[in-house]
């Protein structure tokens, strides 16, 4: 880390010896090791947050990125049965669904700039059906950036077509795919895989597919599913393997820790605590010296923790996703506009500067700091701001 690039990190006075040790290592241009990463989980969360926030500020200033997007899940029918998944259904199940072309096209709201497509591994679909989903979305709005299909789905398409990942990815790119989302990585631990997702691809195949994509100029993200049966050491190991992948074949935009939602899975009794969430976000910011963003994914973290995470190293909030549906149900005049306001409000509340981006992190709009009147919880802007913020909470 150069002196110029480390203004915030170098000016920090830290009390905790472990976090101060991490600060020293970063200032000397070193990287945190597996052992340091694990030990940092026992450090005070506020000290971790101060250092991680300084790292994020040295990289991005006060900017926090978000996108006006929607998630499209064309089908929940899936041939696999991961133990942590509450979403997938078997064909014939009364709750199973498969969207028609009309439903898929209707999903493309003219106001969105990114579409995130992910779904089940359908027992009857061919590769062509998945390609059509991308084509239809892109035809409906050619300027839309499409982030589609996890490595698990790409591997499924390889098996359907008996072709390699490069061939499959090239066909998807021709159809309109711009980037790969980071799902399906779960935790890079054979022990955990055998326990809770033994039918799914493991670490090696997931990394092979992302390396291939990066080599072809297709950027991607990487996730970690935490807060179930994994250990902290396995979480850190996962991050280090991803850091090494990024060294070999750069192309990750963001690392996204996904807080496991127990739902009806019976795997654990409750979700990880907010402190554990913030530690995981902060430690990932400290470990990844080569990935631009750590994402605070509010859908899993909840709006409050996701907002706080913007002061613990996160510099991206994903997107509006389905907020506008809730706003619509509440009879808002401009549901997408309201969802966008909610993101802007959450980012400003954390003292940061909102930047709207597309899936390729091209800047669409930078928002100024809030005017004092707009930031205060009264005045003319109140109705919209408050309704927008509460739309995200539900
Ligand atoms: O791969 C499944 C996870 C992922 C649960 O790339 C669960 O920008 C929590 O990858 N509780 C899909 N998580 C979502 C995903 C994602 C989300 C947002 C942004 C991006 C991006 C990617 O969700 C799956 C799996 O790891 N998941 N079940 C659960 N019960
Ligand atoms: Fe759920 Fe994905 Fe596993 Fe299918 S592959 S069961 S959709 S997590």
Asked if the structure places residue 99 within a domain, the reply is yes
Asked if the structure places residue 34 within a domain, the reply is no
Asked if the structure places residue 17 within a domain, the reply is no
Question: What's the CA gap between 121 and 193, in Å, rounded?
Answer: 18
Asked if the structure places residue 72 within a domain, the reply is yes
Which of the residue ranges 7-21, 278-292, 316-330 would you say has the lowest mean pLDDT? Answer: 316-330
Asked if the structure places residue 88 within a domain, the reply is yes
Asked if the structure places residue 156 within a domain, the reply is yes
The pLDDT-based confidence of 10 (bands split at 50, 70, 90) is very high
Asked if the structure places residue 6 within a domain, the reply is no
Share of the chain above pLDDT 70, in %: 89
pLDDT (average), residues 95-113? 92
Question: What's the CA gap between 11 and 58, in Å, rounded?
Answer: 11
pLDDT of residue 329: 60
Pair 150, 180: CB distance under 8 Å: yes
Into how many domains does the chain fold? 1
pLDDT tops 60 at residue 223: yes
Pair 341, 392: CB distance under 8 Å: no
What residue numbers bound the domain in which 216 lies?
A: 63-366
Please tell me which residue, 349 or 327, carries the higher pLDDT value. Answer: 349
Residue 320 belongs to what H/E stretch?
Answer: none
Q: How far is the CA of 89 from the centre of ligand 2 (A)?
A: 9
pLDDT of residue 336: 66
pLDDT of residue 338: 63
Question: What's the CA gap between 118 and 260, in Å, rounded?
Answer: 18
pLDDT of residue 86: 84
The pLDDT-based confidence of 384 (bands split at 50, 70, 90) is very low
Q: How far is the CA of 258 from the centre of ligand 1 (A)?
A: 6
Annotated binding residues for [4Fe-4S] cluster: 78, 82, 85
Alpha-carbon Rg for the chain, nearest whole angstrom, is: 21
Which of the residue ranges 56-60, 68-72, 190-194, 287-291 would you say has the lowest mean pLDDT? Answer: 68-72
Residue nearest to ligand 1 atom 2, measured at CA: 85
Q: Which ligand 2 atom is nearest residue 119's CA?
A: 7
Asked if the structure places residue 15 within a domain, the reply is no
Rounded to 5°, the CA angle 114-283-347 comes to 40
Q: How far is the CA of 186 from the centre of ligand 1 (A)?
A: 8
pTM given for the model: 0.92
Write the CATH number for 328. Answer: 3.20.20.70
Angle between helices 17-27 and 45-60 (to 10 degrees): 20
């Amino acid at each position: 880390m150069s002196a110029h690039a480390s203004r915030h990190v170098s000016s920090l006075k830290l009390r905790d010896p472990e976090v101060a040790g991490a600060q020293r290592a970063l200032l000397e241009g070193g990287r945190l090791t597996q052992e340091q990463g694990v030990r940092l989980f026992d450090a005070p969360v506020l000290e971790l947050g101060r250092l991680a926030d300084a790292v994020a500020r040295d990289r991005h200033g006060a900017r926090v990125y978000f996108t006006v997007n929607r998630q499209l899940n064309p089908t929940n029918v899936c041939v696999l049965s991961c133990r942590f998944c509450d979403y997938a259904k078997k064909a014939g199940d009364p709750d199973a669904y498969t969207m028609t072309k009309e439903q898929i096209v209707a999903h493309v709201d003219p106001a969105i700039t990114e579409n995130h497509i992910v779904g089940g591994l359908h027992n009857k679909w061919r590769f062509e059906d998945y390609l059509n989903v991308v084509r239809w979305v892109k035809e409906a709005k050619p300027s839309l950036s499409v982030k589609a299909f996890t490595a698990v789905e790409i591997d499924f398409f390889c098996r359907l077509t008996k072709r390699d990942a490069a061939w499959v990815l090239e066909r998807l790119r021709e159809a309109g795919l711009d980037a790969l989302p980071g799902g399906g990585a779960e935790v890079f631990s054979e022990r955990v895989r055998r326990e809770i997702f033994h039918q799914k691809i493991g670490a090696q195949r997931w990394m092979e597919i992302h390396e291939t994509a990066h080599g072809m100029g297709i950027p991607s993200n990487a996730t970690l599913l935490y807060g179930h049966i994994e250990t902290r050491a396995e979480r850190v190991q996962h991050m280090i393997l991803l850091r090494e992948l990024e060294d070999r074949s750069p192309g990750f935009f963001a690392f996204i820790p996904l807080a496991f939602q127990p739902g009806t899975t019976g795997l654990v009794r409750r979700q990880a605590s907010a402190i554990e969430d913030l530690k995981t976000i902060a430690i990932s910011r400290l470990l990844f010296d080569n990935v631009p963003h750590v994402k605070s994914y509010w859908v899993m973290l909840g709006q409050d923790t996701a907002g706080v995470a913007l002061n613990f190293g996160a510099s991206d909030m994903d997107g509006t996703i389905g907020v506008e549906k809730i706003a619509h149900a509440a009879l808002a005049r401009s549901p997408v506009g309201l969802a966008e306001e909610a993101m802007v409000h959450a980012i400003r509340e954390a003292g940061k500067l909102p930047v709207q981006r597309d899936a390729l992190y091209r800047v669409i709009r930078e928002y100024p700091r809030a005017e004092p009147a707009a930031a205060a919880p009264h005045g003319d802007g109140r109705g919209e701001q408050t309704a927008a913020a509460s739309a995200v909470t539900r």
